[in-house]
Amino acid sequence: MSLAFVFSDPRRLPSSVSIERPPRGEKLIHSCPVTRANLYRKDRAILVVVLSLGFSSLLAARGASDWQALAPGMDLKYVAAKKPSFVADSRIVVLRMDPHQWRLEAVGISQTGESAGHTARAWSQRSNFSAAINAGMFAADYKTHLGYMGSSTHVNNSRPNDYQSVAGFEPRDSQSLPRFRIFDLDAPGIRFQDILRDYSSVVQNLRLVKHSGLNRWSQQDRRWSEAALGEDDAGRILFIFSRSPFSMHDLNNELLAADIGLVAAQHLEGGPEAQLYLHAGTVELEMCGSYETAFRESDTNSAAWPVPNILGVRPRPSSAH
């Protein structure tokens, strides 16, 4: 993203702002608050509670190159940045899920009828999700997703914008279509209406990485904590979180060099509002961002903010455990 954007509170983008190269100084809203980074092991012998940046010792013990199996079709990996951030531990968390075993859902308060949002952890507890991450940026009404967002049961925003990354999941024909796919609207033969025809759930967001593995951000000075949605070369869902702030150019490069098979990714949220929650088996992990250039230039944030929209996963009935 060569976006020179600063997240701001008008929570809407001027119509002149293009997806990947908006005018310098334009501000994209960012919607999600932050949450404590707490990691719990529920074996009686092990209980680790790590606030914010304090889980690095556990990560080091596991080894940055290892995938940890959490449940059938769900794996966790910690990526150590080759070019460290100047803040926190420079670890990037990647949660990988097989869409044949895990159902991805988008939900928000426009669907539930509530007047206020929830943290990723609270959304998970209310909706019985095993993991949850920001669904994307939202408008000044603290409800409407920026870009198209809809499912078979509810449409949060029926108006697509200029963002070039569209995630489609829950295909109407699961025998012939991928269960999960991130589409590039500027790719040959890709039309938004065809995605809506083929997939019952569709979420449009700002693009980070274009198929297949192309970094779409030029370098910039701005850095922030990041929550992102990715697709790997096996069609698996990736929830990506970094509390350490990076420019999106650098973060994309770290992810593309991390041996996680990343082929496409979209920005979900940045700064203190970015968050990821996971509760699978004996592992419970709650993380939040903090640093953001020109907004909150510190690593002190330790509380999750409620957000109106969330992406969550639950095991499919045949894979329930």
Using CA atoms in the order 121, 124, 127, 129, what is the torsion angle rounded to 10 degrees?
180
CB contact set of 20 (below 8 Å; sequence gap of 6+): 1, 2, 3, 164, 207, 216, 217
Identify any residues that bridge with 262 across adjacent strands, giving them in sequence order.
232
Please state, rounded to an integer, the average pLDDT across all residues of the chain.
84
* Phi, psi (rounded to 5 degrees) for 32: -110, 140
Q: What is the pTM of this model?
A: 0.83
Q: Report residue 141 as tokens.
A: 């009404």
What pLDDT was estimated at residue 319?
A: 59
Least reliable range by pLDDT among 25-29, 68-72, 93-97, 188-192: 25-29
User: 280: helix, coil or strand?
Assistant: strand
DSSP letter, residue 319 = G
Helix ranges (DSSP H) in the chain: 56-62, 109-112, 120-127, 192-198, 248-256
Q: In 3D, which of 104, 99, 36, 97 has the Cα closest to residue 67?
A: 97
Over the stretch 250-281, which tens digit does the pLDDT of each residue have? 999 999 999 999 999 999 999 999 999 999 99
CB contact set of 55 (below 8 Å; sequence gap of 6+): 37, 39, 48
CB contact set of 57 (below 8 Å; sequence gap of 6+): none
